[in-house]
Amino acid sequence: MSGAHSTNCQPVEYMVKRAALGISVLAVLAVVAAVASEDIGGWHEAKWGMTPDQVQKVLDYPASVADLAKVCREPCNEAEALELDDYDLNGQHFTVRFWFGKPDSRLEGVSMHAKQLDQADGQEALMKIKNFLETSYGAPGSIGMDRGHFVFLWTLPSTKITLYSDATNDMTILYEQRKEKENGKP
């Protein structure tokens, strides 16, 4: 008759494991939500509203004044820019430009243009950078297409981050200061 009484605790162990898994999932979601809502206020240590001298001081890399005649398709008299020629982001090299609006020369945007992309690795590079941005800022708020480019948009309290790519040989990341109307301010 000793076989009639079982000490099998399997249902209890299952409930404990299930509860632990549920708690773990909630903890991960809370961390992801906190990261996604965190405001970056610029690009790395370069914050919106800084002057070119202030940005240069906080960068770990030497930046030069960008030649806007080579950069812009049209005259760029309303802006000035600093440029990092080679910045490595997660294994992909970029030219980074810091855009300062006139007349007060304050940082308003940062553009990152991928270097050395070719059709063979363009899709892989896109996925690698997209995954990096998702890890940093959470899932994009919107995903779309524009003139043959994939467009991924992250909207943070003071910053819009847009990843553009044709998944072949063109990829750009834009960090832009959100305007007061976009921030929900009058």
> Domain-by-domain residue ranges, the chain?
42-177
C-beta separation of 81 from 71 below 8 A: yes
Question: Does the pLDDT at position 24 exceed 70?
Answer: no
What CATH class has 42-177? alpha beta
The pLDDT tens digits for 88-109 are: 998 899 999 999 998 889 999 9
The pLDDT tens digits for 121-152 are: 788 999 999 999 999 999 999 999 999 999 99
Higher pLDDT, 9 or 48: 48
Question: Does the pLDDT at position 36 exceed 50?
Answer: no
What pLDDT score was predicted for residue 127?
Answer: 93
Question: Does the pLDDT at position 26 exceed 50?
Answer: no
For the entire predicted model, the pTM comes to 0.75
Distance CA 87, CA 129 (A): 13
Distance CA 150, CA 152 (A): 7
Burial of 23 (0-12, 13-18, 19+ CB in 10 A): exposed
What pLDDT score was predicted for residue 34?
Answer: 41
What pLDDT score was predicted for residue 10?
Answer: 63
Q: What is the mean pLDDT of residues 18-41?
A: 51
Q: What is the mean pLDDT of residues 23-49?
A: 64
What residue type is assigned to position 37 of the chain? Answer: S
Across the chain, what does the average pLDDT equal? Answer: 81
Percent of the chain with pLDDT over 90: 54
The pLDDT tens digits for 52-73 are: 999 999 998 889 999 887 877 7
